Each structure stands twice: as structure tokens, then as C-alpha cells.
Amino acid sequence: MKTHPPGLTTLFLTELWERFSYYGMRAILVLFMVAPAVEGGLGFDTKQATSLYGTYTMAVYLLALPGGYLADRYLRPWRAVLLGGSLMVIGQFLLAVHALPFFYGGLTFIAVGTGLLKPSISTMVGGLYGAGDPRRDSGFSIFYMGINIGALMAPLVCGWLAESAAFKTLLTEAGVDPRYSWHFGFAAAGVGMIVGLAVFLAQRSRLPIESGTAKQEAAAQAGGSGGLTAAEWKRTGAIAVLFAFTILFWAAYEQKGASLNLFAKQLVSTNLFGFDFPASWLQSLTPFYVILLAPVFARMWVKLGTRQPSSPQKFALGLLAIGLAFCLLVPASALTAEGKISPLWLVAVYLLDVVGELCLSPVGLSTVTKLSPARFVGLMMGLWFFATSLGNKLAGFLSGFFLANDSKRLMELYGGIAAMLLAGSLLLVFLTPAIRRWSGEGQASSRKE
């Protein structure tokens, strides 16, 4: 990170621990809901659990829309990060209480807190770079690696506390009901968010100004809240088209927290080379791959410079890669008719997922901050997360069709998702020239500044 602004390190570490908190809870949420009461769970059926998961994750990102607006107009991004993180801490510790009202209350606090924090911290990253700075995509890729370091650690810690027989034995020996192990997992997620807030407060002076968006703030003061220019409308339209394809991507990606989490728990052997592990640990595969590949992608975009694929082309590559991942799930589902399958299937699936993720998600964040009108960048970041929220709800809906004892149903489910992704990738290839014209990307690359 030596060639990047020092504030990137602060935001990198803050987001690392915020994502530890979120993904630690996410790794065990559906498993907790479907676990029978005698095992400390809520005893929900699959459709009820995945529907609630979809609604909750939709709310997490949907609330980023008002969260981004409040950060832009009233709070300033740094205050939104502090307030949002504090609400998330409260929510995680509410989940640590063994009572259904606290469970719903905890999900609500986490959703509201994330809605404030997520668009604000991404906006602050964008504010570290000036217009046309070639380090922008690389910076967001590094920031995205921080997200995934937290996401890697989270299932290993929270999943072990929630699911492992060893920890339940320790609880029993300490005179604690082992059914409460789930709630220790949620509490660990809360501790992670506390660490993230401490890092942000200790290092906030490394950010260029309080909001982290000096140039955007100056533009807002100059331009006020007036209407958009014709060029700004075109760039906003380009973002809107990409948002539509983002919905498809997240509908597939979030199967990991819902149907694929159940797939791993019920249909995949959790023994590899003689080592037993909790099913939730498979959630760490994705961030593990990202940590390995994010620096490669960051260097690749910088090295390619003006020769790198355009943003819509990167989106199309992302949809293609995750579509191929779901193609792999079709034969894997067929094999479940004969018994539990090797975890190596998910090892391969999640590798392709990550290639798609690195082509689309950090590039999407960068594109929003690059193309959005300066005075509305927080709001547009909120709209990015709104598109993500719709994808999350669709993911929960699709996961409701999961049936562990029906391999044909699983083949239809994952085959249908694969077809949707591959068709979306092809359509985006055809739309790329128009999107580039609207965004001004073609003109920018054809003239010398």
C-alpha cells in the first residue's frame, strides 16, 4: 500500500473488522435458524429460514440508500461509520441472547447499522483519489482484500464456537448449556466490530479531511443540490444498467449464505484427509481465494493501464465466471443421490466464484464513485447497495427451492441459475459499446488531457 494514500490503511483495517462481524454472523445464521430447538436452534423449516435470510440481507443493503443520503447531507461519512458500527455492536450482542425477540431485534440493529456504515466507508475510499487517478481500481481491490481477510477469519472463529463438538464439551465442563454455543458465535462477531471501531477512532487523523471526500464536498458546495447536467444523466444511466446486472450476480453469490450453506451442511462430507471440520468453515474458502487473487487482479489492472477491459466488460467476465461455477453444481447435485459428496466440489465452485467476484464487485464500487455526480456520490453508493439488496432477496427466494433429498430439484435450481448468469453475461457484451458512450469512457481514452 506504499504507493496509495495513507488513509487507505485506516479504512482497510476498519472494514476488515466490520466484515469479520458481518460474515461471522452470516456463516451461522441460516444453520442456527434450521437447527432444532434441542440443539439450541430456532427449528425453522428451510423455506422459512431462507426467506428470512433473504429479507434480512436485503434490508442490510436496502438501508444503505437512506444511509448514504444521511451521510451526504447531515452526518458526514466518518460519523455515519461510527454510528453504524455502534448499532452493529448492539445487534450482534442481542443475537447472543437466547430469546426470539432479541434475535429479531439484533437483526434489525445490524441491518440499520450496516446501512449507515457500508456506503460511507466506500465513499471515503473513493475520496482518497482524484479524478482520473489510475490507482483507483487498484485501491478498491486492496480495500476489497481487507474485506476478505475479515471474512476469512470470521467463519473459522464464529463457526468453531457455534458448531464444534470440542467447544460444546468445554461449555459442558464449565457448567454452561452447550446449546448456547450458537450465541457465543454471535458474541464473537460483536467483539470484532468493537475492534473495528477502535481502529477507526485511533487512526482517523490519517484521513485527508473529516468526511474523507474533500473534492466531492467542494463540488457539492459549488453545485448545491441542483439538477443533473446532460452528461451526468448519461453517466447515471450507465450506472443504472450495470446495477441491473449486479442484481443477477448477487442473487447467485448469496446462495453461499443460504442454499449452499445448507448444501454443505447436509450433502457435503465435512471430513477432508481425515480431518473433521464444521460445515460453516467452507464459508472461508471464498475470502481465502480473494486474499490470494486480489493482489494479482490489482497489479493486473494497473499493469494493463489504458489497455485493461472496460468496466462493463469486467462485469460480463464476472457473470461468466460465476455462471461456470453454477454449471459445476449441476453434476455435483446429481452425485448427491448416491450420498455425501467430496468438499472438493465446493473448493472448485468457490474458486470460480471468486474470479467473478473480483471482476465485478470492487470494480463496481470504483465505477460508482468515478461516474456519480460528486454531490450525490453517497446517494449513488446507496443505490449500488440497493441493487445488491434486491439480489439478496432474490437469493433467499431461490434458496427456498432447496431440497436436500431431491437431487433432480437441485440440478434444476443450480442449472437455472447458471443459465441466467450466462445469458446476462452475453447480453452485457452486446450492451458494452452503449454503456461506454454514456459513461464517457470511450471519449476519455481517445483524447489527451
Task: Divide the 449 residues of the chain into consecutive groups of 10 and give the mean pLDDT of each group.
Answer: 82 94 93 92 91 92 84 86 94 92 95 90 83 77 84 93 91 92 94 94 76 45 55 75 88 91 91 83 89 84 78 89 95 92 93 91 76 70 80 92 88 94 92 79 45
- Find out whether 95 and 135 touch, Cβ atoms under 8 Å: no
Instruction: Give the C-alpha separation, 200 to 249, whole Å.
Output: 31
Report pLDDT for 442.
54
The domain of 49 spans: 7-212+229-440
φ/ψ of residue 275, rounded to 5: -105, 125
Residue 111 domain flag: yes
Report pLDDT for 297.
83
How buried is residue 422: exposed, middle or buried, by Cβ count under 10 Å (0-12/13-18/19+)? middle
- Find out whether 193 and 17 touch, Cβ atoms under 8 Å: yes
Question: Distances in Å between the alpha carbon of 355 and those of 15, 293, 316, 349, 409?
Answer: 21, 8, 12, 10, 27
Q: Which of 277, 94, 111, 261 is nearest to 186 (CA)?
A: 94
Report pLDDT for 214.
44
pLDDT in tens, 126-155: 888 877 777 877 787 788 788 889 999 999
- Find out whether 277 and 439 touch, Cβ atoms under 8 Å: no
Instruction: Give the C-alpha separation, 382 to 242, whole Å.
Output: 14
- Find out whether 226 and 373 touch, Cβ atoms under 8 Å: no
Residue 449 domain flag: no
CATH of the domain at 339: 1.20.1250.20
Instruction: Give the C-alpha separation, 417 to 252, whole Å.
Output: 7
Q: Which of 211, 190, 183 is nearest to 97 (CA)?
A: 183
Number of domains in the chain: 1
Report pLDDT for 348.
94
Q: What is the CA radius of gyration of the chain?
A: 21
Instruction: Give the C-alpha separation, 281 to 356, whole Å.
Output: 21
Residue 66 domain flag: yes
Q: Where are the alpha helices (DSSP H) in 63-213?
A: 64-70, 77-95, 100-126, 136-163, 165-173, 181-203
The string of DSSP codes covering 321-368 is HHHHHHHHHHHHHHHGGGSPBPTHHHHHHHHHHHHHHHHHHHHHHHHH
Residue 64 domain flag: yes
Report pLDDT for 220.
45
Report pLDDT for 287.
87
Residue 130 domain flag: yes
Tell me the three cell numbers of residue 113. 447499522
pLDDT in tens, 37-77: 999 999 999 899 999 999 999 998 888 888 888 887 888 88
Report pLDDT for 221.
44
Report pLDDT for 5.
84
Residue 101 domain flag: yes
Listed in sequence order, the residues at least 6 apart from 180 whose beta carbon sits closer than 8 Å to its beta carbon are 40, 98, 171
Residue 201 domain flag: yes
Instruction: Give the C-alpha separation, 388 to 67, whole Å.
Output: 14
- Which SS3 state, helix, strand or coil, does residue 66 take? helix
